[in-house]
Amino acid sequence: MDFLKAVLGDRYEEFVNLIKGYNEKPENKDKQVKLIDLNKGEYVSKAKYDEADIARNTLRSQLDEAEETLRGFEGVDVKQLQTDLADLTTKMGTQKEEYENQIAQMKFDAILDAAITTLGGRNTKAIKALLDIPSLMESKDQTADVQAAVNACKEENAYMFGDDEPINNPIGQTGGQTHTQTGKNPEDMSYEEYRAWREGK
């Protein structure tokens, strides 16, 4: 409290003794008087101290957690692990795309075969060669567009088609969209329904 000497002069000692006497009384144990020179920036409020203490504890907890995580990677080639993970992700994406393409192809083939058979096609392979297969596969309504394409093919190449009466071709219906015994178009089936239909179940 030396900074008070310049302020109190001769009364400094008296002031110090008063503060000391107050602080030494038992009843003042929990309410001590402390003088701090704020000009030196030494005083920190309890709220700020508590905030700093919480931040310190949080940082310590995060550091401990990070160290524990790092210990789990001891002896592991992290770069190789990252490479393997990237390769696996790419492979899974490719397999998924191939699987979806295969299913789409199978469903399209079923729609086309049923449409040709319904109209009495004599040679499925030859009739397919006359159709714009890539465009039909890109169609948003394959059942309707395939049926229309096969109908047009029959009109232009009647010799390639025979009797198209429903009694001879029970898997579909003439003049309309191709349907299976389940009542669904192949393109609308789930994989399980499509597989069962192809197997005749």
Domain assignment of residue 1, yes or no: yes
Q: Are residues 145 and 93 in the same domain?
A: yes
89 pLDDT higher than 50? yes
- Round to whole Å and give the CA distance between 21 and 136: 102
What's residue 164's pLDDT? 46
Give the pLDDT of residue 195.
65
On whether both 96 and 33 belong to a single domain, the answer is no
pLDDT of residue 52: 77
What pLDDT score does 170 carry? 47
Q: Is the pLDDT of residue 6 over 70?
A: no
Question: Could you tell me the CA-to-CA distances from 85 to 25, 69, 91, 92, 93 in Å, in that order?
Answer: 71, 19, 10, 11, 12
Residue 199, φ and ψ in degrees, nearest 5: -85, 0
Q: Is the pLDDT of residue 1 over 80?
A: no
- Angle, alpha carbons 113-119-120 (nearest 5°): 85
Q: Is the pLDDT reported for residue 44 higher than 80?
A: no
Instruction: Summarize the confidence of residues 78-103 as an average pLDDT.
Output: 85
Report the share of the chain in percent with pLDDT over 90: 13
Residues 57 and 93 in one domain: no
**What's the whole-number average pLDDT of the chain?**
77
169, part of any domain: no
Q: Which of 174, 154, 155 is nearest to 165 (CA)?
A: 174
Q: How far is CA 133 from CA 37, 72, 109, 123, 192, in A?
A: 91, 55, 10, 16, 25
pLDDT at 38: 54
Q: Encode 38-52: b = buried (16+ Cβ within 10 Å), e = exposed.
A: eeeeeeeeeeeeeee
Q: How many domains does the chain have?
A: 2
91 and 34 inside one domain: no
Q: What is the mean pLDDT of residues 179-185?
A: 59
Token output for 172: 């579909």
Where in the sequence is the domain holding 44, given as residue range(s)? 1-71
Task: Flag the least confident range among 132-141, 143-152, 169-178, 188-197.
Answer: 169-178
Q: Are residues 114 and 147 in the same domain?
A: yes
Instruction: Name the percent of the chain in helix, strand, coil, to the closest 5.
Output: 70, 0, 30
Q: Taking residues 24-30, report their average pLDDT.
A: 82
On whether both 100 and 43 belong to a single domain, the answer is no
Compute the average pLDDT of residues 134-156: 92
DSSP letter for 132, please.
Answer: -
Asked whether the whole model's pTM tops 0.85, one would answer no
* Contacts of 52 by beta carbon, 8 Å cutoff, 6+ apart: 44
Mean pLDDT on 94-107: 87
Looking at the fold, whether 19 and 43 belong to one and the same domain comes out as yes
Task: Give the per-residue pLDDT at 42.
Answer: 55
